[in-house]
Chains A and B, each alone.
Chain A
Amino acid sequence: MYLELQHLSKNFEGKTVVKDLSLSLAEGELLCILGSSGCGKTTTLNMIGGFLRPSSGKILLDGQDITAMPPERRPVTTVFQSYGLFPHMTVLQNVMYGLKFQKMKRTQAREKAMHYLELVNLSEYANAGIYEISGGQQQRVALARALVVEPRLCLLDEPFCNLDAALRVKMREGLKEIQRKLNMTMVFVTHDQEEALNLADKIAIMEQGVLTQYDSPMNIYRRPANDFVREFLNLDELVWSDEGALLKVIKK
């Protein structure tokens, strides 16, 4: 498989935050790690991104062991929850920044960055300052900045949680479209089950550091692994037919 997490564990001062987590993901798929806060999903993401060293276990990307690789050399980029944009640079400079370390010529880098700004519909804001644009636009700058370096894997840490509900739906659609267009493998962390259901090819549900269920959204909805998943996704509201079709939603 393209991305493989093998028996990942992480302890902080004797407390186990992630416990023996294994999963694998095919190229071009979007994985959602879903769970309530404190379940270890962001820790898992930080280990894949290289900001945390796992206490034990391995991370393989395209067959290569990247467990010990520092983030600056890892072909993985992250869209941070607070975006982490550089406030002293313009939109275009933000997007271009990563290309500097690929030894790309300035004119070429500018062209490529503009191309990615077009991809996220922001080319007219190229020369704007970071604080002159809205939160949704900032989010798209962060996405373009992470994608322009053509990472082998892109991580997103609750990227829409600072946006209002209507914008969130719009951004969600945009993200899915871009992900398909670039055939980008993505890992997306969220606590919003609707988001996960809409975006994911695979959903990983975590509870207290343990991977409770890992499957396609449909399979999870039809066959929740345990009561926690059933309750977390409000599956008691759904009534299925014997053939597997959804019969009714009972609002409780």
Chain B
Amino acid sequence: MNKPNKPFEKKTNGLKRERASSDALFFGKRSFSGPFSGRELAGYAVDRLLLAVILGSVCLFVLYPLLCIAFRSFNGKDGTFTLANYGETWAQYGTSLWNSIFVGVLSAFFCTIFSVSAALVVSTRRGWMKLLCMGILLVTMVSPPFVASLAYIQLYGRRGWITHGLLGLSWNPYNKWGVILMQSVSFVPMNALFLNGILAKIDGDSIKAARDLGASPASILRDIVLPQMKPGILVCLLLSFIRSLADYGTPVIIGGRFSTIASDIYYQLTGYANLEKASVLNMFLLLPSIGAFFLYRRLLRQSDALVQSSRGKQEQLQLRLGKCGLLGGLIGLASGLFFVMMILQYACIFSTGFIKVSKTGNRFTLQYLRQLLKTDLNTMGRSVLYALIVSLVGTLFAMIFSYYMERRKVPLRQGFDCLVTLPYMLPGTCFGIGYILAFNHPPLKLTGTALIVLANMLFKQLPTCTKICSATLKQVPLAQERAVHDLGGGQMAVLRDVILPGLRPAFLSCFSYNFSSSMTTAGAILFLIDPARKLAVFKLFDAVYTGDYAVASLIATLIILIVLAVEALVYWITGKAAKPRVS
């Protein structure tokens, strides 16, 4: 239903732009007398200034904090260069490093199996099953962190509904296997949606051709579908491994005595505040992350080359998993396990907030909700406010940045592009401690302010936003830009009349991405936040950590509902905007 509308939209857009250009022709004074008019000079100055501000803030908020970590890790007691910090930290935290790698490898492995299975099921199923699976993935995408751990304790813990209540077990759930399980499950949604995008681009005719040549469904899966997913699968492995390395919440909450580098950093920063040691620990995370980042970019290029140039029409993946033999069975089993676990997890979270546990049995209560609404409403309000600010400013920033990157000759273009994308792979702890080290003294003393939190969110989310904007900008014909120049408009006119209107579809998707991420990421923010200005995610972590599960569940539920509501609103606006406005 959407498609027939599109040409219409293009047409109206085109008309509007045409009018804009003719406006410029009639009203824009074109001076033939002097080399530059005052207005042209001003436009030129604004253009240069804008570029300088954009590139400058990227350096200040991405590059500088990372350099601070590196310098601090080599910093001796008297301010000299030393490797002593590394020796000490290695001796003290060597086991944690191995733990991190162990957990990272296993989590990445299991997570990728779950992700591939879930993606295959979602793209080959039709009807209500597909809707249900997509719905579950979307809810998990907009869920705050720590909910998996919360549900884990509630379901499988010492007094867990399943382990204790159903099976009568009494066991200690706080160990590395719990961490591995929860990480494997909680990284799935993003991976699965990413793989789903790849699967949607596989040429339907290549599947038909394989069938035509005599391939059974199992051969098609093995020979055609999985090989085309290969770069994507490697990306999943890599991303899951890095996320596992960076994840401190899960080991802190359910790791028990088991510690990883990330959880050690958490304790260092919140407890002992030894910034040298914390810097070294972060270097242990930073270096593999940066390495992974370059590998990631290469793999993405490979994946794009493989599936994007397919000429066929994109249609539903025609493959019956049920007929794919043993492999198909395993995929069905893994995805079934995953989706059942997710349903249990969310059923648990949504209900925990409304159930009062007592000796005589469980009963429904609104006591916790009332308590939450009385005490924590302003925290939630602040979270929403911050998210809105980041969404607006971040989206605008991404639009302008992608314009300069795509359309203008910027010095060190490759370098800046790389720098902006880097935070995507950076562990939250690194980004957090980098900000603490960079901005805790004059002239840029930002610690304790809201600004540092907002900047951190903005730059952490910038990579995805610039990617969306660049992709959209590639669709805006260069000729429109030339037309503006041709008719006497300057650089600012191009930005105002061509680039920003052309980026309108990107605005909404960036906005909703920014909003949901700002509401749900914990990463670095836990270390940057001022105790007097708490955010909902922070409260959630506190509540889980102190065992206040009912309140934690309610906060999580509230966050999910708010984000879903905003996404629905954006979706509605997008749908409205797509309709042709012809009277």
Contact = CB atoms under 8 A, between A and B. Distances in A.
Interface string B229-240: 010000000000
Contacts of B257: none
Given A71-B208, A83-B209, 18 more contacts: A71-B211, A72-B213, A78-B208, A78-B209, A78-B212, A80-B209, A82-B205, A82-B310, A83-B311, A84-B203, A84-B205, A84-B207, A85-B203, A85-B206, A86-B223, A86-B224, A87-B206, A88-B306
B interface: dominant SS: helix
Contacts of B204: 84
Contacts of A89: 227
A87 B212 contact: no
Nearest to A80: B205
17 contacts: A50-B212, A51-B208, A70-B211, A80-B208, A80-B312, A81-B205, A82-B313, A84-B207, A84-B209, A85-B203, A85-B206, A86-B209, A86-B224, A87-B309, A89-B227, A131-B305, A149-B214
A49 B212 contact: yes
Interface in A201-228: none
B268 interface: no
Nearest to B216: A72
A73 interface: yes
Nearest to B307: A87
- Name the residue among B210, B212, B216 with the largest chain A CB count within 10 angstroms: B212
Given A82-B205, A82-B312, A97 B213 contact: yes
Contacts of B223: 86, 97
Contact of A101 (B207, B219, B224): B219
A53 interface: no
A234 B560 CA distance: 64
A183 interface: no
Interface residues of A, number: 32
A84 B213 contact: no
A98 interface: yes
Nearest to A51: B208
A43 interface: no
A84 B224 CA distance: 11
B302 to A, nearest CB: 10
Contacts of B312: 80, 82, 84
A72 B212 contact: yes
A71 B307 CA distance: 24
A58 interface: no
Given A72-B215, A72-B216, A162-B311, A86 B208 contact: no
Contacts of A100: 219
Nearest to A131: B309
B139 to A, nearest CB: 33
A134 interface: no
Interface string B293-317: 0000000000001110111110000
B203 to A, nearest CB: 6
A102 B214 contact: yes
- Name the residue among B211, B215, B310, B313 with the largest chain A CB count within 10 angstroms: B211
B228 interface: yes
- Name the residue among B208, B209, B224, B306 with the largest chain A CB count within 10 angstroms: B209
A145 B206 CA distance: 12
Contacts of B230: 88
A72 B212 CA distance: 5
Contacts of A190: none
A98 B211 CA distance: 9
A9 interface: no
Interface in A79-121: 80-89, 97-98, 100-102
Nearest to B306: A87
A246 B215 CA distance: 50
B203 A101 contact: no
A81 B312 CA distance: 8
B308 to A, nearest CB: 10
A238 B255 CA distance: 87
Contacts of B216: 72
A49 to B, nearest CB: 7
Contacts of A50: 212
A80 B215 CA distance: 16
Interface string A138-172: 00001001100100000000000010000000000
B208 A84 contact: yes
A82 B213 contact: no
Contacts of B228: 86-88
A73 B203 contact: no
Task: List 8 tightest A-B contacts by C-beta distance, closest first.
Answer: A84-B205, A98-B213, A101-B214, A84-B209, A82-B312, A80-B205, A84-B206, A82-B311
Contacts of B212: 49-50, 71-72, 74, 76-78, 146
A104 to B, nearest CB: 11
B210 A97 contact: yes
Interface string B277-300: 000000000000000000000000
Given A87-B306, A97-B223, A131-B305, A72 B205 contact: no
